[in-house]
Amino acid sequence: MIDLLTSGNITAAIAFLCAAVLSIMLHELGHGYAAILNGDNTPLYQGRMTLNPLSHFDPLGFLLFLFVGFGWAKPVQVNANNFKNYRKGLFTVAIAGVTVNFILLFISVPLCKLMMMLYQKAYFASQGEPSFLLFLCELVYSFFMFLISINPVLMVFNLMPVYPLDGFRVVESVTRGTNRYVQMMYRYGRYALVAFLVLIYALNFMGFDLLGLLASWVSWPVNQFWNLIFGLFA
């Protein structure tokens, strides 16, 4: 985000900000809806079931999005004791957020391809001259491009088995919380998360995008699927 602003590409900066806010907001709403379906109305009582981005704002997570390219929203609080089925509730709530991110990725790929076609038509129609239609097509195309790049990163980051990320909650649901690793994460998990963030930043500084590499493994089958579908109608 900072690179986009300093480069003067305001259109891309706006598109990135909108895509990032939507992705992390819907991620948290996914957790909230899953909790409600499992019998816990805590997210509803706390006012988190809203599309108001300010209700999901987390300062540190937002700063990381600005400077590193990934981050998080304020986690939705749930009370697992209210779940109809504890293990099932813990598991489904844990994977709900990344499931939403995958759905966003899946639907953004074809929409991005369609917007690219519209952008090309608008560009040739205006003969390259600036116009509102051209700006709008570029903005929406960039928005879907960033959805495609942001959501798989959110998926692989949140699936890391480090407390308090979603991946840890999956491990906790499978082991009933009695596993030695789970107990260790409850005690030292926040330090492990900080160490993990420092590692990612250090690798990025050295030119190795670990999360980007893992995210590409998530994106590849989705892109291949839609390339096949579009190829059938080409």
Question: Which positions are catalytic?
Answer: 28
> Structure tokens of 115?
């917007």
In whole angstroms, give the CA distance from residue 138 to residue 123.
10
CA 7 distance to own-chain centroid: 24
Q: Give the side-chain half-sphere CA count within 13 A for 116.
A: 8
Closest by Cα among 109, 144, 141, 115 to 219: 109
DSSP helix, strand, coil percent of the chain (3-state; round to 5): 75, 0, 25
In whole angstroms, give the CA distance from residue 80 to residue 179.
18
Give alpha helix (H) positions in 39-179.
42-45, 59-67, 86-125, 132-158, 166-175
Could you tell me which residues come within 8 angstroms of residue 139 by beta carbon, excluding any fewer than 6 positions away? 11, 14, 15
In whole angstroms, give the CA distance from residue 122 to residue 18.
23
Residue type at position 21: V
In whole angstroms, give the CA distance from residue 143 to residue 137.
10
